[in-house]
Amino acid sequence: MGVGKSTVGRLVAERLGLPFIDGDAAVVAHDGREIRDIFVDEGEPYFRALERDLTLGLLADQSGVLAVGGGAPMNPDVAAALEGLPVVFLDVGIADAAKRIGFDTARPLLAVNPRASWIRMMNERRETYERLARWRVDTVGREAEDVANEIAGLLSEVGIQ
Protein backbone atom coordinates (compact mmCIF):
# COMPACT_ATOMS: atom_id res chain seq x y z
CA MET A 1 0.00 0.00 0.00
CA GLY A 2 1.50 3.26 -1.11
CA VAL A 3 4.50 1.71 -2.86
CA GLY A 4 3.49 2.82 -6.36
CA LYS A 5 2.41 -0.56 -7.77
CA SER A 6 -0.08 0.94 -10.20
CA THR A 7 2.13 3.75 -11.43
CA VAL A 8 5.28 1.65 -11.73
CA GLY A 9 3.41 -1.32 -13.20
CA ARG A 10 1.88 0.83 -15.91
CA LEU A 11 5.31 2.29 -16.78
CA VAL A 12 6.95 -1.16 -16.88
CA ALA A 13 4.20 -2.45 -19.17
CA GLU A 14 4.70 0.53 -21.50
CA ARG A 15 8.45 -0.06 -21.65
CA LEU A 16 7.99 -3.74 -22.45
CA GLY A 17 5.06 -3.27 -24.83
CA LEU A 18 2.79 -5.42 -22.66
CA PRO A 19 -0.73 -4.87 -21.37
CA PHE A 20 -1.11 -3.59 -17.80
CA ILE A 21 -3.70 -4.84 -15.34
CA ASP A 22 -4.28 -3.27 -11.93
CA GLY A 23 -5.69 -5.82 -9.47
CA ASP A 24 -7.41 -3.20 -7.32
CA ALA A 25 -8.98 -1.58 -10.38
CA ALA A 26 -10.19 -5.02 -11.50
CA VAL A 27 -11.96 -5.47 -8.16
CA VAL A 28 -13.61 -2.06 -8.48
CA ALA A 29 -14.64 -2.69 -12.09
CA HIS A 30 -16.07 -6.11 -11.26
CA ASP A 31 -17.97 -5.05 -8.15
CA GLY A 32 -18.93 -1.54 -9.20
CA ARG A 33 -17.92 0.00 -5.87
CA GLU A 34 -14.74 1.55 -4.53
CA ILE A 35 -12.68 -0.74 -2.30
CA ARG A 36 -13.42 1.32 0.82
CA ASP A 37 -17.16 0.96 0.08
CA ILE A 38 -16.83 -2.81 -0.36
CA PHE A 39 -15.09 -2.98 3.03
CA VAL A 40 -17.78 -0.89 4.72
CA ASP A 41 -20.75 -2.57 3.05
CA GLU A 42 -19.60 -6.19 2.94
CA GLY A 43 -16.58 -6.51 5.24
CA GLU A 44 -13.01 -7.59 4.69
CA PRO A 45 -13.74 -11.35 4.23
CA TYR A 46 -16.02 -10.59 1.25
CA PHE A 47 -13.43 -8.24 -0.25
CA ARG A 48 -10.59 -10.74 0.22
CA ALA A 49 -12.59 -13.54 -1.42
CA LEU A 50 -13.40 -11.30 -4.38
CA GLU A 51 -9.77 -10.15 -4.60
CA ARG A 52 -8.57 -13.76 -4.47
CA ASP A 53 -10.89 -14.97 -7.21
CA LEU A 54 -10.13 -12.07 -9.55
CA THR A 55 -6.37 -12.24 -8.90
CA LEU A 56 -6.28 -15.97 -9.61
CA GLY A 57 -8.12 -15.39 -12.88
CA LEU A 58 -5.74 -12.62 -13.89
CA LEU A 59 -2.70 -14.73 -12.99
CA ALA A 60 -4.04 -17.63 -15.05
CA ASP A 61 -4.09 -15.32 -18.08
CA GLN A 62 -0.47 -14.12 -17.56
CA SER A 63 -0.57 -11.86 -20.59
CA GLY A 64 1.05 -8.75 -19.18
CA VAL A 65 2.13 -6.81 -16.13
CA LEU A 66 -0.17 -7.30 -13.15
CA ALA A 67 -0.08 -5.06 -10.08
CA VAL A 68 -1.68 -7.29 -7.46
CA GLY A 69 -3.47 -5.76 -4.51
CA GLY A 70 -1.25 -5.48 -1.46
CA GLY A 71 -3.18 -8.06 0.53
CA ALA A 72 -3.63 -10.57 -2.30
CA PRO A 73 -0.33 -12.44 -1.75
CA MET A 74 -1.35 -13.12 1.84
CA ASN A 75 -3.97 -15.55 0.53
CA PRO A 76 -2.43 -19.05 0.27
CA ASP A 77 -4.05 -19.74 -3.13
CA VAL A 78 -2.73 -16.49 -4.59
CA ALA A 79 0.69 -17.05 -3.02
CA ALA A 80 0.85 -20.51 -4.60
CA ALA A 81 -0.11 -19.07 -8.00
CA LEU A 82 2.61 -16.41 -7.70
CA GLU A 83 5.37 -18.89 -6.90
CA GLY A 84 7.80 -19.20 -9.78
CA LEU A 85 6.49 -16.13 -11.60
CA PRO A 86 8.67 -13.04 -12.14
CA VAL A 87 7.38 -11.23 -9.04
CA VAL A 88 8.87 -7.89 -8.04
CA PHE A 89 8.54 -6.62 -4.46
CA LEU A 90 8.48 -2.82 -4.44
CA ASP A 91 9.91 -1.96 -1.03
CA VAL A 92 9.03 1.46 0.34
CA GLY A 93 9.79 3.36 3.52
CA ILE A 94 7.12 4.91 5.67
CA ALA A 95 8.07 8.47 4.69
CA ASP A 96 7.60 7.76 0.98
CA ALA A 97 4.39 5.81 1.62
CA ALA A 98 3.02 8.74 3.61
CA LYS A 99 3.75 11.10 0.69
CA ARG A 100 2.00 8.79 -1.77
CA ILE A 101 -1.13 7.87 0.15
CA GLY A 102 -1.22 10.58 2.79
CA PHE A 103 -2.32 8.07 5.42
CA ASP A 104 -5.86 9.27 5.03
CA THR A 105 -8.72 7.33 6.54
CA ALA A 106 -10.25 6.63 3.11
CA ARG A 107 -8.10 3.48 3.08
CA PRO A 108 -10.06 0.99 5.17
CA LEU A 109 -7.09 -0.85 6.65
CA LEU A 110 -5.58 2.43 7.83
CA ALA A 111 -8.70 4.01 9.31
CA VAL A 112 -7.45 3.91 12.91
CA ASN A 113 -3.97 5.32 13.63
CA PRO A 114 -2.85 5.19 10.00
CA ARG A 115 0.91 5.36 10.61
CA ALA A 116 0.97 2.56 13.19
CA SER A 117 -1.49 0.51 11.12
CA TRP A 118 0.71 0.80 8.01
CA ILE A 119 3.84 -0.22 9.92
CA ARG A 120 2.08 -3.21 11.48
CA MET A 121 0.58 -4.29 8.17
CA MET A 122 3.90 -4.06 6.32
CA ASN A 123 5.66 -6.01 9.07
CA GLU A 124 3.02 -8.74 8.76
CA ARG A 125 3.31 -8.89 4.96
CA ARG A 126 7.07 -8.44 4.46
CA GLU A 127 8.06 -12.09 4.92
CA THR A 128 5.51 -13.25 2.34
CA TYR A 129 6.48 -10.51 -0.11
CA GLU A 130 10.17 -11.37 0.19
CA ARG A 131 9.54 -15.11 -0.14
CA LEU A 132 7.49 -14.73 -3.32
CA ALA A 133 9.62 -12.09 -5.01
CA ARG A 134 12.33 -12.90 -7.48
CA TRP A 135 13.50 -9.30 -7.08
CA ARG A 136 13.23 -6.70 -4.33
CA VAL A 137 13.42 -3.14 -5.63
CA ASP A 138 13.95 -0.31 -3.16
CA THR A 139 11.73 2.63 -4.08
CA VAL A 140 12.80 4.97 -1.28
CA GLY A 141 13.40 8.45 -2.62
CA ARG A 142 13.12 7.33 -6.25
CA GLU A 143 10.90 8.51 -9.07
CA ALA A 144 8.50 5.99 -10.60
CA GLU A 145 10.25 6.26 -13.98
CA ASP A 146 13.59 5.24 -12.44
CA VAL A 147 12.03 2.28 -10.63
CA ALA A 148 10.22 1.19 -13.82
CA ASN A 149 13.45 1.36 -15.82
CA GLU A 150 15.20 -0.86 -13.28
CA ILE A 151 12.38 -3.41 -13.32
CA ALA A 152 12.12 -3.42 -17.12
CA GLY A 153 15.85 -4.12 -17.20
CA LEU A 154 15.54 -6.98 -14.72
CA LEU A 155 12.70 -8.52 -16.70
CA SER A 156 14.56 -8.12 -19.98
CA GLU A 157 17.54 -9.97 -18.49
CA VAL A 158 15.34 -13.05 -18.04
CA GLY A 159 13.77 -12.80 -21.50
CA ILE A 160 10.59 -10.89 -20.68
CA GLN A 161 10.28 -8.16 -23.29
Per-domain residue ranges for the chain?
5-142
pLDDT tens, residue by residue, 110-123 = 455 666 776 787 78
Contact (CB, 8 A) for 151 and 8: yes
Would you state the pLDDT for residue 1? 44
What average pLDDT is seen over the chain? 87
Q: Whole-angstrom Cα distance, residue 73 to residue 80?
A: 9
Mean pLDDT of 77-92: 95
Return the higher-pLDDT residue of 5 and 148: 148
pLDDT tens, residue by residue, 16-25 = 999 999 999 9
Q: Please, which pLDDT band fits residue 56 given cuts at 50, 70 and 90?
A: very high
Q: Please, which pLDDT band fits residue 37 given cuts at 50, 70 and 90?
A: very high
Residues 6+ apart with CB under 8 A from 92: 2, 3, 4, 100, 139, 140
Contact (CB, 8 A) for 138 and 129: no
Q: Rounded to an integer, what is the distance from CA 25 to the centroid of its chain?
A: 11
Q: Whole-angstrom Cα distance, residue 75 to residue 73?
A: 5
Q: Whole-angstrom Cα distance, residue 21 to residue 105?
A: 26
CATH for the stretch 5-142: 3.40.50.300
pLDDT at 11 exceeding the cut of 70: yes
